[in-house]
């Protein structure tokens, strides 16, 4: 048997195994325990566009727990699979997407962005200040926030920033930025000012993320994602003069 034929056979065996395993798990947990009827089970199987039926268990849970209709599941699962094939979705494991609402938000956001490239989206941030003492930016897209968190504001080294708005899962940024209309400012302190900050406050204030609400309220987090008190925010702003 040729090497290419062997690879093809192994791939087919893996697909067959996953197909059986996903269906078996869905059957065992939902159908056998009468949380799904046979008709509902068959409908979910038909909706899943993958040969491995890799979305079936996730859909069954959403259908039962959150009463998501078959029509909505079909619409968004199909679109998710298409976008996944086009490499337009960062989260490739649907089981890390916690709910149908989160999936819907991810897909709708991608559609709203249209045909903008990833590079264009990563560069969607405003530089507020850039001098020897301060680098202050405000991200306008999740992609920009993610890029900044993995580069200039990578407070945990290779792990990136500790701020949830820079995580691989975009739900935090989207919820704050789009749903709550919060504006973010990421502040990097350097030069002589950093020495002063370390002396009068703490080294964790080297990087600070500000969240400014519509009503003018402010929250701030140091580079370890520890929330600053109002007095700490006031002292920090006084030291950097903003």
The per-residue pLDDT for range 62-105, each reduced to its tens digit, is: 999 999 999 999 989 988 888 887 777 777 888 888 899 999 98
22 with 126, same domain?
A: no
Q: How many CB atoms lie within 10 A of CB 84?
A: 15
Q: Which domain holds residue 44?
A: 3-113
Among 65, 88, 113, residue at a domain's last position = 113
DSSP 87: T
102 with 148, same domain?
A: no
61 with 167, same domain?
A: no
- Residue 18: pLDDT band with limits 50, 70, 90: very low
- Residue 119: pLDDT band with limits 50, 70, 90: confident
Comparing 171 with 80, the larger pLDDT belongs to 80
107 with 150, same domain?
A: no
Structurally, how many domains does the chain consist of?
Answer: 2
Helix (H, G, I), strand (E, B) or coil at 153: coil
Among 83, 113, 143, residue at a domain's last position = 113
Burial of 175 (0-12, 13-18, 19+ CB in 10 A): middle
109 with 157, same domain?
A: no
Burial of 150 (0-12, 13-18, 19+ CB in 10 A): middle
Among 113, 128, 147, residue at a domain's last position = 113
| pTM, full prediction | 0.57
147 with 92, same domain?
A: no
d(CA 200, CA 177): 32
d(CA 53, CA 208): 44
Read off the tokens for 193: 């000012």
79 with 13, same domain?
A: yes
What percent of the chain is modeled with pLDDT above 70?
83
57 with 149, same domain?
A: no
């Amino acid at each position: 048997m040729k090497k290419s034929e062997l690879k093809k056979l192994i791939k087919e065996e893996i697909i067959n195994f996953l197909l059986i395993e996903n269906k078996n798990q869905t059957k065992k947990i939902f159908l056998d325990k009468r949380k799904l009827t046979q008709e509902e089970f068959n409908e979910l199987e038909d909706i899943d566009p993958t040969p491995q039926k890799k979305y079936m268990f996730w859909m069954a849970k959403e259908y039962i727990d959150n009463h998501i209709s078959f029509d909505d599941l079909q619409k968004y699962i199909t679109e998710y699979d298409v976008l996944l094939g086009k490499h337009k979705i960062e989260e490739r494991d649907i089981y890390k997407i916690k709910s149908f609402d989160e999936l819907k938000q991810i897909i709708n956001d991608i559609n709203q962005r249209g045909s903008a490239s990833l590079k264009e989206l990563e560069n969607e941030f405003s530089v507020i200040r850039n001098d020897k003492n301060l680098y202050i930016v405000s991200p306008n897209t999740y992609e920009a926030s993610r890029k900044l968190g993995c580069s200039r504001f990578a407070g945990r080294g290779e792990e990136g920033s500790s701020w949830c708005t820079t995580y691989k899962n975009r739900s935090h940024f989207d919820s704050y930025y789009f749903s709550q209309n919060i504006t973010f400012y990421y502040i990097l302190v350097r030069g002589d000012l950093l020495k002063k900050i370390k002396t009068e406050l703490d080294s964790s204030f080297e990087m600070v993320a500000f969240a400014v609400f519509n009503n003018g309220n402010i929250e701030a987090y140091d580079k370890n994602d520890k929330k600053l008190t109002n007095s700490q925010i006031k002292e920090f702003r006084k030291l950097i003069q903003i």
